[in-house]
A and B are shown apart, each in its own frame.
Chain A
Amino acid sequence: MNDPQQAIREKQFEAKIARDEKIEPKDWMPEKYRQTHIRQISQHAHSEVVGMLPEGNWITRAPTLRRKVALLAKVQDEAGHGLYLYAACETLGVSRDELYEQLHSGKAKYSSIFNYPTITWADIGAIGWLVDGAAIINQVPLCNTSYGPYARAMIRVCKEESFHQRQGYEIMMKLANGTPEQKAMAQDALNRWWWPSLMMFGPTDAESVHTEQSMKWKLKRKSNDELRQQFIDQTVPQAELIGLTIPDPDLKWNEARQSYDFGPIDWDEFWQVVKGHGPCNKERMNARVSAWKEGEWVRDAAMCYAEKKAAKKEVV
């Protein structure tokens, strides 16, 4: 930072962001900006890809053809999100293979929510409604983030996530209006997914790191606690509308705050899952690693064939 040239460039860079102009891959950027973006975008990409697993778990067992087709399409969308996000990340000078390597070695994180099991059909509804719902609240502000490729990817992703959210809610509504067994299945799913969904917004503001810098770069616009509150305020009436009960005895409308008060989050559970000891961390990682390992010969073959073809063209 002693270099005066560097200081000027950095100032210009920050000013550009402040003016709401986008940073593009070829633009100069501080190393810390690059690293922070690689971390966040890849973490997001990994979440999309790992997120395919708990939902993919129900494709073969979906209860109707219409639901099966919709679930396949949803999981396919998530793969697509992974693809655009890896591509956005690659513009920062890191390869997809390196990013996978970081995921497989446990160096890179992905959203902890996907370390919970999907044990009934209602979990597919709950994931769409709550998990995609929470993801949208986290991600809508990113449509205006400073890094151009990320912002553009997020616009497309958010559109599809809202579709997923509505579809998930519709699954829950159908169950909640169904037989007593179906309603119980929906309530049970809400009971299991509610608290992990609240944890998706991350630790409380008091304990959250990196926030200030991220705000400046528009990687974050609101704090974890603000986003969590927004999610709760939005979701509670949706649960009421279909006659499901949020599993929180302390949940209460606060007239003065015009918001819901809610009970304490079990942060021990949160850290346990983040640190790799959730119910399915091992299964998810094993599934990804073995897909990658078992696919190696396929990727090698594709590369080898492409090289042979290119060589043949040259000869001609």
Chain B
Amino acid sequence: MKQDLYTYILGIADNNLILGQRLGELCGHGPSLETDIACTNISLDLLGQVRSYYQYAAQLNERLTSEDQIAFMRTEREYLNVLLVEQPNTNFAYTIARQFLYDIFHKLFIQNLQNSTDQTLVAIANKAIKEVSYHQRFSSDWIVRLGDGTDESHEKIQTAIDDLWTYTNELFQLTPNDEQMIKAGKGVNTALFKDTYYAQINSILNEATLATPQSKWFQKGGKEGIHTEHMGYILSDLQYMQRTYPNMEW
């Protein structure tokens, strides 16, 4: 049971870690100081949540017993994040689209996690809810601004949404371990808000004068540790220090 909970926590937290890492790449390179500050802020929130999750997970695992070992000392196949969050910052439209497609899910997920029977997860969710609500407002506002802005921005954000759409369904994929955790009352049954997720997305895209993609071809694999080609490069940066200088304190 301990191991199941450990795996379940990674399935939540790895999303935040990899998305936080992606946002961290942008610092100093964004379209304005204001957006730089906002993206850094979101990255900070996500990584703050990651630390709480991993600190909890570290108590449940025998091999990796600290937040940093969990964050840095796994092989690629052991990271359980969805493919969406590892997609690159191709341009600001992709950054915002990725954030938006994740944030809507994340907020619904955290709201449900508040009802978990696991009190540590509830405490993390209670703290995170304000943060993820802010993230969702930020990314939704930008979707509308870019969609209903200029012709160029409309086209760019539509392309980004269309391209990333294929990664949305995986957010709702339930692994056998997820099913177990739901049964135990600790996990979140994402199936219950899948329709809400797509309805919320659709309503914001409408407001943004954007089309909701109709494609039903979806990618998956991240939740089983099978990632896109981007992941190795993300981990090369993320793990660089810990791999080059193992067993040291920083």
| A interface residues (Cβ-Cβ under 8 A, vs B) | 49, 52-53, 56, 59-69, 72-73, 75-76, 79-80, 82-83, 86, 121, 171, 174-175, 178-179, 181-182, 287, 290-292, 294-302, 304-305, 308
Contacts and interface: CB of A to CB of B under 8 A. Distances in A.
Interface string B138-162: 0000001110111011001000000
Contacts of B156: 297
Given A61-B238, A76-B27, A298-B92, 11 more contacts: A49-B33, A63-B250, A64-B72, A72-B40, A83-B34, A179-B248, A291-B28, A291-B30, A295-B31, A295-B92, A305-B148
A72 B44 contact: yes
B229 interface: no
Nearest to A302: B145
Contact of B145 (A52, A67, A301): A301
Interface stretch (B45-53, B79-87, B194-202, B217-225): B45-53
A68 B240 CA distance: 13
B62 interface: no
Nearest to B154: A301
A65 B54 contact: yes
Nearest to A307: B149
Given A60-B21, A60-B238, A299-B32, A304 B150 contact: yes
A56 B149 contact: no
Contacts of A296: 31
A79 B250 contact: no
A178 B248 contact: yes
Contact of B33 (A83, A175, A300): A83
B161 to A, nearest CB: 15
Given A72-B44, A174-B250, A302 B30 contact: no
Contacts of A181: 245, 248
A308 B188 CA distance: 41
B47 A72 contact: yes
Interface of B: 21, 24-25, 27-37, 40-41, 43-44, 47-48, 50-51, 54, 67-68, 71-72, 91-92, 144-146, 148-150, 152-153, 156, 237-238, 240-242, 245, 248-250
Query: For chain A, what secondary structure do more than half of its interface residues adopt (helix, strand, loop), or is it mixed?
Result: helix
B21 A299 contact: no
B250 A64 contact: yes
Contacts of A80: 37
B41 A76 contact: yes
A207 B39 CA distance: 43
B40 A82 contact: no
Given A60-B237, A63-B241, A297 B150 contact: yes
Contact of B40 (A60, A65, A76): A76
Nearest to B68: A64
Nearest to A308: B148
20 contacts: A62-B241, A63-B241, A63-B242, A64-B250, A65-B50, A65-B67, A69-B44, A72-B47, A73-B44, A76-B36, A79-B33, A82-B33, A83-B37, A178-B249, A295-B31, A297-B153, A298-B31, A304-B149, A305-B145, A308-B148
B32 A295 contact: yes
Contacts of B241: 61-63, 121
A303 to B, nearest CB: 8
